[in-house]
Amino acid sequence: MVPMSKKHLAILLIEDDPTFAAALQALLRRKSIFSFDLAHASTFSDADAILGQRQFDVILLDLTLPDISGMETLHAVRKRGNSSPVIILTGRDEEDLGVQAMKAGAQDYLIKGEIDGRLLSRAITHAIERARLIYEREDFLATLTHDLKNPLIGANRVIELLAERKIGDLNDEQVNLLTHIKNSNWTLLTLIGNLLEVYRFEKDLDTLYFEHTNLMQIVNNCMKEIAPIAYDRNINVLKEISVESDAIVLADAESLSRVLRNLLDNALKYTPTGGQVKVSLSSSLETVQLKVSDTGPGIPEEDRKHLFERFWRGRASRRHTPGTGLGLYLCQQIVSMHKGKISCTCPSDNGTSFLVELPRENITLAV
């Protein structure tokens, strides 16, 4: 990540209008507070080839290109751009798209026709500095969460031995208390795991390992993990399987397990005592469907459109349950990397269902 003490910058301009691209370069050369080399690509294909050869301190990006458009453009460039900060170039009638792009990870957006040299120069320096600060913060957070994880795992192993009376006799009340502590630690481990996984997905996408994976086995393992928590909260967890031998997808098994654990964790959080959580697995010719349903209060319609946003938490979540707002965001990132879809429905605002659809065909990891 470039420090802003660096005075010579490498800039990539991805813009299909040659007249505007030339004007932008002229503005920068007259008014910039730094020297720079600027590479220009008029299509994403050209940009992809350039990004494969070198790194850039900042990327100026038009979201509407001949071979790709909209938010897909930003996602593709961010995956290929080695964490380079991105500034969106948008038209006056597309300002909402610029705001949406910032929520998705762009550092800033500028409106074409309102750009002057000083504004562009300032935007570049600010974007680089913000990106550097975010990188340092997240790197620290990843280190911290990793260091917190191992002591919690060790503590839970000791608690399990105590609760199972393997290192001494305990009465039922003491065992019950230890079970509560173990469940609380399990929740903390889930939060820590989400933080680490988000960092891994955003910084090192190539760590995914795709292999033929049996979703039935993932379902069984995850249900076994959450069984003590469900028992402690008096929640009935059911399994509804209409497919078994053909529940095979090409996937990163660890990541898909993270998706199901997060969905089950959410379901248990919001299902009242005596309620029910159901895991369903089914298939069609083209997809395998994994669904987690609960009998909780449901999610208000105005909240559902934000469910998969990074760090977003609903009002009820903020008041009543611990969390980071990363669980569902991470689920969407993982499912997207598997070329699948995740969606949420709340029939008559009574209960919540999350549906994950994964394709059967071979998957090539986007780079």
pLDDT digits (tens, 9 = 90+) for 194-228: 776 766 666 654 456 788 888 999 999 999 888 88
Question: Number of H helices and number of E strands within the chain?
Answer: 11, 14
Q: What is the mean pLDDT of the chain?
A: 82
Domain boundaries, the chain: 8-134, 208-367
Give the separation between CA 97 and CA 116, rounded to whole angstroms.
21
pLDDT in tens, 317-367: 444 455 556 788 888 888 988 889 999 998 766 789 999 999 986 444 443
Confidence of residue 164 (pLDDT cuts 50, 70, 90): confident
> Helix, strand, or coil here: 187?
helix
pTM above 0.95, yes or no: no
Confidence of residue 312 (pLDDT cuts 50, 70, 90): low
Give the separation between CA 64 and CA 17, rounded to whole angstroms.
10
pLDDT of residue 242: 77
Domains 8-134 and 208-367 are alike in CATH topology: no
State the CATH architecture for 8-134. Answer: 3-Layer(aba) Sandwich (3.40)
Give the separation between CA 323 and CA 331, rounded to whole angstroms.
14
pLDDT in tens, 87-140: 999 887 778 888 888 877 889 999 998 888 888 999 999 999 988 887 777 777
Question: For residue 283, what are its two tokens?
Answer: 């298939």
Question: For residue 352, what are its two tokens?
Answer: 């919540």
Element (H, E) at 215: helix 215-232
**pLDDT mean over 47-73:** 91
Residue type, 261: R
Superfamily of domain 208-367: Histidine kinase-like ATPase, C-terminal domain (3.30.565.10)
Question: For residue 170, what are its two tokens?
Answer: 């305990």
pLDDT of residue 85: 92
CB 81 within 8 A of CB 59: yes
